[in-house]
Amino acid sequence: MAQLFYDSDADLGLLNGKTIAIIGYGSQGHAHALNLKDSDVKVIVGLYNGSRSINKAKADGLEVLSVADASAKADWIMVLLPDEFQKEVYDKEIAPHLSTGKVLGFAHGFNIRFGLIKPPADVDVVMIAPKGPGHTVRWEYQNGQGVPALFAIEQNPSGNARSLAMAYAKGIGGTRAGILETNFREETETDLFGEQAVLCGGLSELIKAGFETLVEAGYQPELAYFECMHEVKLIVDLMVKGGLTAMRDSISNTAEYGDYVSGPRLITADTKAKMKMVLADIQDGTFAKNFVAECEAGKPKMKKMRNRDAQHPIENVGKSLRSMFSWLKHA
């Protein structure tokens, strides 16, 4: 059983006197910056000139500098930009200011794992990856709780990288819930696989296929939406709270029996073989190569697929139905 580490295992005092530059102020960036600030860690924010986030970060009481200036001033540079932007920003704005003894941090290992960013050997390279969206990381912290996080060490010339990473995790609230040690390769490959095979790719296609099957059989699209899209969250919430067993304890006997006899008819050995192919593409760098090429081309395939799925009937039906849900009107 893997070991989890908590508040008592991490020393926030290791960050005393250090300046941490948060590069980017999106979902994760704002959460890390504000949680660290509230943990009495000195934080600055690095943003490009003209960023829409500049005024927001300033309004939140943070010092905002250019990425280059923030990188020069900081002892710790935490890169919280989208994967496809990190290499260019790193090469132009961060790398020139990575002097001996500094810490370079990430919340996802993509650019390190696939060699897009190659830090100098005299800086610590660490990862602290909360297992939740940034807004959840922020409000859980504000509520005195935390979001579980992963941490990993890629380079440790100082000899203190592991303790520093754990201190950072404590500063953003991760050790309140528990943090788990991994490495950049494992985090990156499992994260990409989970997104593609289950959480995003697998689930999206399963939902669309179920919706289409019911509509094509003559059932009302609205009912198909409720059964194949709306209730997904209800089931997943039960799983998150207590696993598959607790979910099955909460549903009807009819639903539980259907789970056992029909699930394996859909998710077969062939499906698992396809999953292994997806994982192989991740492990050997094929996915990363294709993603980088797609981004360099201006994301034409992504835009086409995004527009295609935006026009799917389930989106139109869902938009209409969601307008009826009072709890969504103020979300």
Question: Which residues have a catalytic role annotated?
Answer: 108
What residues contact 41, with CB distance under 8 A and at least 6 apart? Answer: 12, 15, 18, 20, 171
Q: Is the dihedral of CA 308, 312, 316, 321 positive or negative?
A: negative
Taking every pair of Cα atoms in the chain, the longest distance, rounded to a whole number of angstroms, is 67
- Residue 182, SS3? strand
What residues contact 170, with CB distance under 8 A and at least 6 apart? Answer: 7, 10, 11, 12, 39
Between the alpha carbon of residue 169 and those of residues 23, 41, 183, the distances in Å are 17, 12, 15
How far apart are the C-alpha atoms of 64 and 297, rounded to whole Å? 31
DSSP string, 200-238: THHHHHHHHHHHHHHHHTT--HHHHHIIIIIHHHHHHHH
How far apart are the C-alpha atoms of 323 and 303, rounded to whole Å? 26
Q: Of the candidates 82, 102, 308, 94, which has an alpha carbon nearest to the alpha carbon of residue 205?
A: 308
DSSP string, 91-116: IIIIGGG--TT-EEEESS-HHHHTTS
- Single-letter amino acid, residue 84: E
How far apart are the C-alpha atoms of 176 and 39, rounded to whole Å? 13
How far apart are the C-alpha atoms of 152 and 189, rounded to whole Å? 14
3-state helix, strand and coil shares in percent for the chain, rounded to the nearest 5: 60, 10, 25
Angle at 284 between CA 280 and CA 286, to 5 degrees: 90
CB 206 within 8 A of CB 267: no
